[in-house]
Amino acid sequence: MPPSVVVVAAIQAAPIYMNLERSLARALDLIAEAAKRRAQLVVFPESWLPGYPAWLDVCRDVAVWDNQQMKRLYAQLHENSVVVPGKVTEALGEAAKRHNLTLVIGVQERVADGAGRGTLYNSVLTFGPDGELLNCHRKLVPTFNERLIWGQGDGSSLRSVETPIGRIGSLICWEHWMPLVRQKLHIDGEDIHVALWPSVKEMHQIASRQYAFEGRCFVVAAGGIMRYSDLPREFEPISSIQADDNEFILNGGSAVIGPDGQYVAGPSFGSEVIILARINLARIREESMTLDVTGHFNRPDLFDFRFKGASDLDQTGQVEIMSQTGLEFASSQSAEALRSTGTESISPLAPEAAPSLRVVSLNRDAGRTGIRNSGFDSSDVQQIENKA
């Protein structure tokens, strides 16, 4: 049985853009810093290794046929993407094991050789505290201009995984607007859902809060930080951009959200931070009294839910997860997520809860190679104000 109270951390910091080796080194430093704060779950934003391809949004003519500059950018991105499994995943797994924590991180994934070696995927990796890679989920449908660089994922990884701190699932960006995708993970019985975003702007905040409310689970929404100065200026389409180097392209917005859809910690915008929050899994059962979309607030006698990508569940490759005859299966999955823990809830409305909600600021050095100070002192800890 997982612990009642879990410490979660959302990393809101920039990688060393388009440099996999240095970004990995920074990721390992950030994981260690979160571990010092007793984090049991550490979450990085979408495509953090080696950085979200924001040039798709800010450069002109990115979709022009035979654009040589875009081809060069793609080639550099491909060179700095992650092979799964490989040396990078081995290092991340070792970090999770060393610090005895669960790790979820967004990466750009490539195939090392053979079929598909020219295709990139927007993926999220989940590691257990034993260092094992529990899941590699590829984003099912790249959003709009992302289709210029990413291929489609399949359904084999659309699942939550069991960890010592509960069942954890994750989705990437606009997958949160796909109702059937959400329902599949709700049926899995998530305790904690990880929502990875380039940045968690207003509509992404809405999607993250809606997911928590609908799924009656905690959501850790992780958003990235990126300035124009982070982009590789050696490429002409980027060097011609008229913008202040310190202006944000991605502005963070990371937050932790409770199963009632209300904020537990954050959101935080415009700075590099580690958002820490203590969450009480007992609240899932409390909030399930009014809503359970896989149980008492569902009509399986009227609607069927079919998932065709779960060959691990059914050898036919097509599973009827929710129907009048399949309700028992769905209910058993939901029940697993609604464990009674018997400890007090942490509420953002309760003044006594404030000490457990912390934002830890990260100092950025000029080279962006890590954290200026190896340790934290009192000036590094900022209190999150309770929201009325």
Asked whether the predicted pLDDT for residue 347 surpasses 80, the reply is no
Q: Is residue 388 part of a domain?
A: no
Asked whether the predicted pLDDT for residue 235 surpasses 80, the reply is no
Determine which of 116-120, 158-162, 275-279 has the lowest per-residue pLDDT on average. 116-120
Residues 278, 331, single domain; the answer is no
Q: Count the domains in the chain.
A: 2
Residues 299, 286, single domain; the answer is no
Q: Decide which of 204 and 339 is more confident.
A: 204
Q: Is residue 62 part of a domain?
A: yes
Report, as an integer, the average pLDDT of 17-46: 97
Residues 221, 319, single domain; the answer is no
Q: Is residue 220 part of a domain?
A: yes
Residues 252, 272, single domain; the answer is yes
Residues 53, 112, single domain; the answer is yes
Q: Decide which of 123 and 74 is more confident.
A: 123
Confidence of residue 126 (pLDDT cuts 50, 70, 90): very high
Confidence of residue 239 (pLDDT cuts 50, 70, 90): low
Write down the mean pLDDT value for the chain: 81
Structural domain range at position 317: 293-337
59 is catalytic: no
pLDDT at position 24, please? 98
Confidence of residue 308 (pLDDT cuts 50, 70, 90): confident
Catalytic residue among 59, 109, 136, 173: 173
Residues 34, 50, single domain; the answer is yes
Whether a cis peptide bond, with omega within 30° of 0, leads into 50 is yes
Residues 247, 311, single domain; the answer is no
Residues 41, 58, single domain; the answer is yes
Provide the percentage of residues in the chain whose pLDDT is more than 70: 77
Q: Is residue 215 part of a domain?
A: yes
Q: Contact at 8 Å (CB) between 127 and 103? A: yes
The angle formed by the CA atoms of residues 132, 133 and 136, to the nearest 5 degrees, is 170
Helix (H, G, I), strand (E, B) or coil at 234: coil
Residues 144, 20, single domain; the answer is yes
Residues 297, 236, single domain; the answer is no
Q: Is residue 121 part of a domain?
A: yes
- pLDDT tens per residue across span 152-184: 998 899 999 999 999 999 999 999 999 999 999
Catalytic residue among 33, 59, 139, 190: 139
Q: Is residue 171 part of a domain?
A: yes
pLDDT at position 247, please? 87
pLDDT at position 100, please? 98
139 is catalytic: yes
CATH number of the domain that 187 lies in?
3.60.110.10
Residues 233, 324, single domain; the answer is no
Report, as an integer, the average pLDDT of 195-222: 98
Catalytic residue among 33, 46, 146, 175: 46
Q: Which amino acid is at 190?
A: E
201 is catalytic: no
- pLDDT tens per residue across span 310-334: 544 443 333 333 333 233 333 333 3
- H/E element holding 95? helix 87-99
What is the model's pTM?
0.81
Give CB contacts under 8 A, 24+ apart, made by 135-139: 135/159, 135/161, 135/170, 136/84, 136/109, 137/170, 137/171, 137/172, 138/109, 139/172, 139/173, 139/175
User: b/e map of 65-98 (b: 16 or more CB within 10 Å)?
Assistant: eebebbeebbebbeebbbebeeebbeebbebbbe
Confidence of residue 366 (pLDDT cuts 50, 70, 90): very low
pLDDT at position 243, please? 75
Nearest CA-CA partner of 18 in 233, 185, 215: 233
Asked whether the predicted pLDDT for residue 115 surpasses 70, the reply is yes
Asked whether the predicted pLDDT for residue 7 surpasses 50, the reply is yes
Q: Give 108's contacts (C-beta < 8 A, 6+ positions apart).
A: 47, 49, 50, 53, 77, 80, 81, 82, 120, 121, 122, 123, 150
Confidence of residue 236 (pLDDT cuts 50, 70, 90): low
Asked whether the predicted pLDDT for residue 304 surpasses 70, the reply is yes
Residues 315, 345, single domain; the answer is no
